Structure 1
Amino acid sequence: MIRLTPRALAASAIAASALVLGTAPAFAQGNAPDPRFETFTPSNAPIDHTIDYSIWDEAMKNLVISMGPSLRETAGAPPSSFGTRRQYGHVSRYRLEGSRIMFSFLDADIISSFTEYRQDLERTADLVDIQSLSRNEQLAYWINLHNVAMIEQIANAWPVRQPREIKIDGVPLDEARFITVEGIALSPRDIREKIVFANWRNPKVIYGFWRGEIGGPSIQREAFNADNVARLLDRGARDFVNSLRGTQKQGSTLEVSELFRDVAPYYFPNFEADLRAHLTEYADEETKALLTGTDRIETTVSEYDIADLAGGVREPTYQNIQSADGTQVSFRIPQSMTQLLQQREEKFQRIIREGRTGTVTFSNISLPGDPEDKEEVE
């Protein structure tokens, strides 16, 4: 086995975590094959190479904050900032769902390290034929490259309220071909639709791609790799399907995220029947009740605000914060961010009180008679 290691992400990215941790898309294009991307079709004779994402894994553990599982309750209106009528920070009804990246704490060196790491991933494709890797290895590569690129560009543009406002040379971020693999210019959307959706049949792949919006699937606090990609996609699917931003009930109508409309040409051609079957696979008891209690589906759920802690703005009002034991610490964070983190803590305390904790994950367990490719994502 050969392990390929992209050049190290700047270590300064890790330091940002100490500041807090101590306390509608366009309709999907057709799914017809595009000859420009045929070179990325997975090989039928994979080679035994792996890519080492340990640097990115460490960065994700320090830069991503989970807001915890959805309680299927909308977050109330946040209080106004002290001394002003202006509302800073997040106001989204989904602001206590999903995960967040601490863009407001990233300095120029950290942001430039994202660019360097994205370029290192691009160069990795010059060292090994990506499409000749195992399917899981390829899938992990494309998801990581997509998400690194999105984080890089959002960090460069921050502060920004909505990632879809970002343009690169006049082209919307999702359509901009600023990524180059094997000499082919790619956009984030190309990676999703022209490479992954075109070559992977399992719809759970949609939950790996992070687009920087509160309304989308969460970014994981781990890098994807060949061993964990199936597990992380299942985790992302359960989180999204069982959240308000994924599914809600209005009368006899099941309202679902616009994401499902966008990926329908690839995964849900018989839309209602296929989508209900997919949702049922990941639904908890509460969500299953929504499915059985509705007779039609509408793709009306969306939230385009940035998935950060500050709401995409620099707030002029700051507050000293305390550690868990009440000790004063020496840095300050925006007042609205303090309020958001307090709401997050209250949510976690409620989860504990109500006994909603406890998730046991079994992965990479082989039983007699299991095929060698048991964990492969098709």
Structure 2
Amino acid sequence: MALPKYSRSSSLIAGALVSAALVAPLAAPASAQAEMGGVLTIAAPAVDPAFERFSPSTARIEHHIDYSAWDEAIRYIVFPMGRSLRQVAGRPESGLGTRRQYGHDSRYRLEGNRVMFSFFDDALRASIRDYRAELEATPDLIEFNRIPRNEQLAYWINLHNVALVEKIGESWPVRQPSTIEIDGVLLDEAKFITVSGVKMSPKDIRTQIVFRHWKDPRVIYAFWRGDIGGPSIQRGAFDVENLDRLLDRGASDFINSLRGVQKRDDRLQVSKIYEEAAPFYFKDWEQDLRTHLAQHAETEVQQLLSQTRAVDATIYEADIADLAGGVREPSYSNVTTDGSPQRFRIPQGMAALLREHGTKMERIEREGRTGTVYFADIQLPGEDPAKEEIE
């Protein structure tokens, strides 16, 4: 049975986004870790009994949750940056007539999709807040833990990412999402989400629910953390039809990027997001992580895996994953399309980033590195629909 579409939120979000478009880190996860003899040990968070009600049941019922409102919205608010070229971005140019640098200056600024927070208005922020509330209420309408596992997983991913977009959008301008507080608690650990009477944080969704009940480490890359250093936000809602494909895309994008894997001397450097996931997926830290990385690594990263020994979780960029660098810039540049001036202007820092992005995309096209084709498994008549679910 399909749940009703969220038509009210859909129209509000889409309308606000169209209007806005025409006008114009979370902290690296804290972990209890010790390095002894080259072995990294990380303690998993204590199990909170309140979350047991969200354990997937083996007694299955068929329900489908519709995310068309979020799918429509996210295509407007997310700007695609293209795949990583594994090339460090140099120092950006200064704004016209000033030595002050606005916008992004991160060495990773050309990696990872961006949310266009600088174009958000009050109507858009309110509609995203309303949509998050509708998602929170959904499990009370059905026997949630009995619906297909892929439906449950898509729900938790979308709720997590909607909530992050909402709160960062309300706090913008902000240079680093990790500094946002809700009632004195940092955003990632603030329990501002309520599902079936259980208050939870974005971190709770990841570590108390998804990481505990889904064995596939690709789920790590589904959760957007608001900053450049984390996995990229996808330009579409997760659902049962695209779940496997988007998990593959997220894993490949991150693992083959500079913010995912690098090499320093003979040591492999990886993102700090793997610390949080280690108790669930990489208990034998180095061996398990290397095995996982190798499954998605392209040629250059495969070489790094073979040329290094110990693994260090040291990479993380906490700057916001937006186009403007989390600031309101006082100077603007005129926008031209095919040489014709447009009716709106954008900040100079954003214009500089878009020029760099254009150069990058030209190189991607010139070198034939336009992307990856993913083939989804086709379910044949008579097959068990649960067979292809993400475990």
Distance 1:87 1:2 in 2: 50
- CA RMSD across the alignment: 1.6
Provide Cα deviations, 1:199-235, integer angstroms capped at 9, x if missing partner: 1111111111011010000000010011211111110
265-274 or 82-91, which moves further after superposition? Answer: 82-91
- Correspondent of 1:349 among 356, 362, 374: 362
Per the alignment, residue 216 of structure 1 pairs with: 230
281-290 or 367-376, which moves further after superposition? Answer: 367-376
Matches within 5 A, 1:305-344: 305-323=319-337, 325-344=338-357
SS at match of 2:388: coil
> Letter of the aligned partner of 2:30 in structure 1?
A
Aligned length: 374
Q: CA deviation at 1:373?
A: 3.1
- Correspondent of 1:226 among 240, 243, 246: 240
Provide Cα deviations, 1:90-133, integer angstroms capped at 9, x if missing partner: 00000000110000000011011111000010111221122111
Per the alignment, residue 376 of structure 2 pairs with: 363
Q: CA deviation at 1:342?
A: 0.7
Per the alignment, residue 372 of structure 1 pairs with: 385
Distance 1:18 1:291 in 2: 46
SS at match of 1:51: coil
Q: TM-score, normalised by structure 1?
A: 0.95
- Correspondent of 2:78 among 64, 70, 89: 64
- Correspondent of 1:25 among 13, 29, 34: 29
Percent identity, aligned pairs only, is 57
Per the alignment, residue 2 of structure 1 pairs with: 2
SS at match of 2:343: strand
Structure 2 residue 89 is matched with structure 1 residue 75: yes
Gaps of 5+ in 1: none
> Letter of the aligned partner of 1:362 in structure 2?
F
> Do the aligned partners of 1:14 and 1:58 also contact (CA within 8 Å) in 2?
no
Q: TM-score, normalised by structure 2?
A: 0.92
> Do the aligned partners of 2:332 and 2:346 also contact (CA within 8 Å) in 1?
yes
Provide Cα deviations, 1:169-199, integer angstroms capped at 9, x if missing partner: 1111111111110011111111111011111
Gaps of 5+ in 2: 33-42
> Do the aligned partners of 1:136 and 1:227 also contact (CA within 8 Å) in 2?
no
SS at match of 1:217: coil
- Correspondent of 1:14 among 17, 37, 42: 17
SS at match of 1:321: strand
> Letter of the aligned partner of 2:102 in structure 1?
Y
- Correspondent of 1:44 among 14, 33, 58: 58
Provide Cα deviations, 1:40-99, integer angstroms capped at 9, x if missing partner: 000111211011101100111111011111111100000111222221100000000011
Distance 1:12 1:51 in 2: 23
> Do the aligned partners of 1:230 and 1:375 also contact (CA within 8 Å) in 2?
no
Distance 2:365 2:22 in 1: 24
